[in-house]
Amino acid sequence: MKKYIVTYFLAVMTVISYLVPGFSFSAKEVEKEVEVPVKYYEFDEGSDYDISNSGALQKIQHSELGKLTVSGNFKESEKDGIPAYTVSNGESLSLKFIYNDTLKNASDSEWHIKKDGGNKVNGIKLENDIDRGAIILQTSLDGKKWATAFEKTDFTNDVKLDADKDANYVRLANGCYYRVIVAYKIEKEIGSKEVFSIETPIKEHDDFKNAQVYDFYASYENIDENFISGEKFYFPAGAKNSKYTVATKKNNYAGSETIDKDDPHYGWDLGNFCLSGYTDKGDADDVYLKKVGNEVKLTFKLEQDIKKLNGNSNLVIAEDKKGSDEEFKIQSHNMKHGELIIHHTDSENVPHEAKYSDFLSALSSQNADTTIQLFEEGDYEVHLDYTITDKKGIDSDTHYQTSFKFKIRNANCMVYIFDAESGAELGNGDVTENGFRIDTAKSSYPKLQVKKEILNNTKNGLVEDTRFNGAATDGEIFTDEGIYTVKAYNRYDDKLEPAVKTIYVGNNNILTAYTKHLGTSDEYTIQEINNLIEDGYKINDDGDIIEPVTTTTTTITTTTNTTTSTETITETTTTITNTEITTKETSAKIEETSKISSEITTTAVSEKNNKEIRISVWLIILFIGIIFILLTLVVILLLKKKNGKKG
């Protein structure tokens, strides 16, 4: 019985789905959150969680400490045998370890967390003891050279691993291998033994160390196109070309010393920064021009092995645990193996700052161009602060700073005009009674000039209103009546022609017509428009110039649902001026009869459409009802047939 009822309702729903094909459900795409596959490892008490020399387990005999998830807008695939996530360009990938407190809250007779006093995990020396568990994020641009990007010890709650958004961008822009290691120690009571000299039995425990390891790869969609293109300019980092690099014995990277032949950095460069993708250089040396669609970016190519600088195993990039940057007012912190700082001031003089700690170890790849950042308009200053240790020297640490500045400006010098009240964008030759506002949001550094013209005293020409002529600023509003010519000059490239827009503020038909026809094949002077009006031409509110009509023939047809009558009015004149009253009366009749005809026709069509819609709806309902009855009969017959067989 149940089987027949299910079949019955499935059949009904199928029929309805075919009858109403437009009825569908849709869901807005949301960010994914997926669990990263894990590998389990177990180690003896004396181990330092040496994953490299151990085999992974298929399963474990206790609860895991948690799970790692990644979230964002991405596509899933595989690379080099591990999960790969291709992230939508410009978006971020979030990493989160979701903690499972089963082991933390377990009793002594169950597997539970035991504090670990060690501070080494797979060759990584941590700043603090592992204690109740350590979580480590390592990254690599080539899958071979790994750097520690994040560590947290004695953790007992959920942990987010993607706090550094600047570094996150660099990793995804170049493609990056990720490894998350969760290390912890567990034990459980397995019995007790009596000792002759002690009254209370000693409890015996079984304990061992565990590691949960997660490996995956992530990148933006277009990293295959991540090459240097367009115009290029290089900023060497090092002492071979010491234009941009200075030395100091202070780890605040202030001041400078001459890099002479006794300096360990003498005669060789660490690498090269490359600014690329711009269209041209401006009139000033530090100005780079970009057009719409250009991607101006900064890349870095590391030319040295940071553990064997200039081929000398005694020269290494050292970890600067208490570095600071005096010029950028960055306080003392662990810069690790070199820190890149980019200071950006936008067109509104608002400062922004991006920091990349451990840049030379974690975020740059030897002999490969590493994309650091894409640039929009603004002023930029770049610092690379790093420390070199000479293992053979007495005063062995020397600090270096490579620094340079540049400006990005739009080569497309445009100005945008918006209605002062409605906010609608106005084009060249447009008219507004409300006034207008200048907006340079898409081109932040143009030199703006505004010229205003008004009718002269004789009304046959224009004269400049010198009170309004001169420089203008972004966001400035103009509401007084007049014809305005707005010019935007590129202040960094005199070779470029200015962008020009003409706007009329007011409601004078003559000035409206004049503005509308500026720059067209039908361009008129004020005097020419006045002459046309004297010859019988008219100007409508939109500025269109309408030539006079010498003959007018009009046929008026009036139709109703019961009677049809036709009235023909024919009027022939030699000039409009002699028949002005007759023409007005005729126009009134035409308008009245057209309105009646339009209303009747609209009503008839509307009633017909409504009637057809009602008929269609009832037909659909009737058809569904018939199908419903037929299916019901089929079910009844099947049931009778089944009952007959039983009898």
Give the other-Cβ count within 10 Å of 344's Cβ.
Answer: 18
Give the other-Cβ count within 10 Å of 228's Cβ.
Answer: 14
Confidence band (pLDDT; 50, 70, 90) for 468? confident
Instruction: Yes or no: say if 146 and 179 are a contact pair by the CB < 8 Å rule.
Output: yes
Instruction: Yes or no: say if 433 and 422 are a contact pair by the CB < 8 Å rule.
Output: no
Q: Check pLDDT > 50 for residue 127.
A: yes
Maximum pairwise Cα distance, the chain = 138
Q: Which of 14-23, 433-442, 535-544, 564-573 has the lowest mean pLDDT?
A: 564-573
Give the other-Cβ count within 10 Å of 181's Cβ.
Answer: 22
Give the span between the Cα atoms of 509 and 135, in whole angstroms: 75
Strands 296-302 and 315-318: unpaired
Averaged pLDDT, 282-291: 84
Tokens of 558: 């009036």
Give the span between the Cα atoms of 464 and 50, in whole angstroms: 83
Which residue stretches of 82-208 are H helix?
102-105, 165-174
473 or 434, greater pLDDT: 434
How far is residue 363 CA from its own chain's centroid? 22
Averaged pLDDT, 146-166: 90
527 or 180, greater pLDDT: 180
User: How much of the chain, in percent, has pLDDT values that exceed 70?
Assistant: 80
Tokens of 63: 């609860």
pLDDT at residue 563, rounded to an integer = 41
Give the span between the Cα atoms of 463 and 515, in whole angstroms: 15
For the residues of 121-180, what is the DSSP string, one character each? ETTEEPSS--BT-EEEEEEESSSSS-EEEEEEES--S-EE----HHHHHHHHHH-EEEEE
Which residue stretches of 207-348 are H helix?
none
Which residue stretches of 495-579 are H helix?
509-516, 526-534
Give the other-Cβ count within 10 Å of 406's Cβ.
Answer: 21
Q: Check pLDDT > 70 for residue 352.
A: yes
265 or 641, greater pLDDT: 265
Averaged pLDDT, 564-569: 40
Give the span between the Cα atoms of 580 and 571, in whole angstroms: 12
128 or 362, greater pLDDT: 128
Give the span between the Cα atoms of 115 and 209, in whole angstroms: 10
pLDDT at residue 572, rounded to an integer = 36
Q: Check pLDDT > 60 for residue 577.
A: no
pLDDT at residue 10, rounded to an integer = 47
Instruction: Yes or no: say if 468 and 450 are a contact pair by the CB < 8 Å rule.
Output: yes
Averaged pLDDT, 217-222: 92
Give the span between the Cα atoms of 26 and 13, in whole angstroms: 18
Tens of pLDDT, residues 417-458: 999 999 999 999 999 999 999 988 666 677 889 999 888 877
- The residue extents of the domains of the chain are 32-223, 227-410, 416-545, 549-594
pLDDT at residue 270, rounded to an integer = 95
